[in-house]
Amino acid sequence: MAYQVVEKNTTLSSQDAVLKDQRGRLFILEAKVHELEEMRWWLAKQVAGQQDRIMEGKEAYDTLWAHTGHQEGALRKLEEESRELVERLIQVKMQAAEDQNYRNEWTERVKQAKLTKELKKAMGRTVNISETLDPPGIVEPPAEKQEPLDVEVYEKLWKRPFSFRKRRGHSVSGALEARYPSLPVCGASCLPARAQDIQEAHHSEINAVCFSFNSSLLATGGADRLIRLWNVVGGRLEADQILEGAGGSVTSLEFEPSGCYLLAATYNKAAQLWKVGESQSKETLSGHTDKVTAAKFKLTRQQAVTGSRDRTVKEWDLNKASCSRTIDGLSYCNDVVCGDHLLISGHNDQKIRFWDSRVPRCIQVIPVEGKVTSLSISSDQMHLLSCSRDDALKVIDLRANNIRQVFRADGFKCGSDWTKAVFSPDKSYALAGSADGGLYIWNLESGKLETSLYGPHSVSINAVAWGYAGSHVVSVDQGKKAVLWS
């Protein structure tokens, strides 16, 4: 029993030690629980704060959403008002155009009646052309300075049959129109043989190039919305001036025969007129509803023609910067050229259409086998050169209105819908650039490929120009290069 008592005491002592140890641990755990309770309370307070902020953000979001809906409603209302205003503006312009056409028609009818009366009087007596250059009884044009015309021109104008169509907006005046003087044609064009100068002319693709009529000035235009003028000096292109203000990519360029003005077609639905020597545009011819692809001067002074992808061709009075006639071209118009009384347009529907300035409808259609990309009329107004996406150039006889020659060549490929081809100044050759960077020249007399030139261009050539002196050719491509050949 004593032994057991000793063992029990020993066990009790050990249990007391364990109990003391457990109480120590319990104290530590209670302290930790108290600390965790405090942390839980702090986190609950943080969660409550975040919930308050979330509610505030949701309320702000709901307010902004309601405000946005209100603003969108106001925007739609403004857009509807804007459309209504545009429609009203178009109606006002159309009414103004109709009123102007009516006034023009009335004026033309008065002139026509007076001229008819005087012509009837003139029929009763003989006119000797050798004694006077003025047809008897014809009223001289108003006090605008005109270039002198030769006897043959007067004889043609006097002997030309007269017609008057009672069609509103398309009346014809019998008065002589001020025309540009005839330009001298070079005796013989020189075939280019080598590249004399290579310039990185623009910041991006170059779409158009043309020489002035004295061949001393060159203009290039591209997708960078710039027009650059160059002087051709000693076989090199020297930068002269930069014309700014084009609202879009420049697609077509032409100098006025006098050399004082430059007309450009752009992708901003307008054509723009610059005076050579001035950096800012002089006039903007706006009225098309899509990209303007061609802009050309007519043979009569202060008149121009534009073609557009809105399927129309427009005639312009440059004195008033207003459209004098709109022609429904039935298809995208890629290029236009002007003859004596003739307008010719090339279209996306693979047709070349002929329009008479004195007749309000199409007078001739010539189908080709591809989209027409460019048109070029010869200096004598007797032949037309077309380039099309069937990789062929066609020469059309304007006297018979039929295709006289078709030019093709191994390797030649029309690279884009705006690839330009031109006649040489003496109408001995046809020139075009290919998609592979080659320059192709055909002989019109033999009907065969005269030569092809490679080297500077590594991408598709968009346009070419042959100087009116016949000694220089310039080609421009999709890779920013302009190359002078001689």
- Check residue 224 and give its pLDDT: 87
Q: Is residue 68, in this structure, part of any structural domain at all?
A: no
Asked if the model's pLDDT at residue 32 lies above 60, the reply is yes
Q: What is the pLDDT of residues 411-457, one digit of tens each?
A: 999 988 889 999 999 889 999 999 999 999 999 999 999 999 998 99
Q: Mind spelling out the 3-state secondary structure of 239-308?
A: EEEEECCCCCCEEEEEECCCCCEEEEEECCCEEEEEECCCCCCCEEEECCCCCEEEEEECCECCEEEEEE
Asked if the model's pLDDT at residue 250 lies above 50, the reply is yes
Q: Which two tokens stand for residue 37?
A: 């309770």
Q: Is residue 40, in this structure, part of any structural domain at all?
A: no
Among 308, 305, 314, 318, residue whose Cα is nearest residue 260 = 318
| Percentage of the chain lying above the pLDDT 90 cut | 44
Q: Is residue 217, in this structure, part of any structural domain at all?
A: yes
Q: Which two tokens stand for residue 474?
A: 């310039």
Asked if the model's pLDDT at residue 180 lies above 70, the reply is no
Q: What is the pLDDT of residues 255-265, one digit of tens each?
A: 988 888 999 99
Q: Is residue 46, in this structure, part of any structural domain at all?
A: no
- Check residue 257 and give its pLDDT: 85
The CA-atom distances, in angstroms, between 439 and each of 394, 411, 448, 463, 468 are 17, 10, 15, 10, 18
Asked if the model's pLDDT at residue 140 lies above 60, the reply is no
Q: Return d(Cα 199, Cα 328) in angstroms, integer.
A: 40
**Count of domains forming the chain:** 1
Q: Is residue 9, in this structure, part of any structural domain at all?
A: no
The CA-atom distances, in angstroms, between 482 and each of 237, 261, 338, 437, 467 are 9, 22, 27, 12, 14
Mean pLDDT across the stretch 97-119?
77
Asked if the model's pLDDT at residue 181 lies above 70, the reply is no
Asked if the model's pLDDT at residue 240 lies above 90, the reply is no
- Give the CATH number for residue 331: 2.130.10.10
Q: Is residue 75, in this structure, part of any structural domain at all?
A: no
- Check residue 304 and give its pLDDT: 92
| Percentage of the chain lying above the pLDDT 70 cut | 87
Q: What is the pLDDT of residues 263-282, one digit of tens each?
A: 999 988 899 998 888 878 88
**142 band by pLDDT with thresholds 50, 70 and 90:** very low
The CA-atom distances, in angstroms, between 187 and each of 184, 256, 404, 445, 467 are 9, 22, 23, 16, 13
Q: What is the pLDDT of residues 383-424, one digit of tens each?
A: 999 999 999 999 999 888 889 999 999 999 998 888 999 999
Q: Return d(Cα 305, Cα 358) in angstroms, integer.
A: 15
Q: Is residue 460, in this structure, part of any structural domain at all?
A: yes
Q: Return d(Cα 299, Cα 183) in angstroms, integer.
A: 11
- Check residue 174 and give its pLDDT: 40
The three-class DSSP label of residue 187 is: coil
Q: Is residue 29, in this structure, part of any structural domain at all?
A: no
Domain that holds residue 233: 195-485
**183 band by pLDDT with thresholds 50, 70 and 90:** low
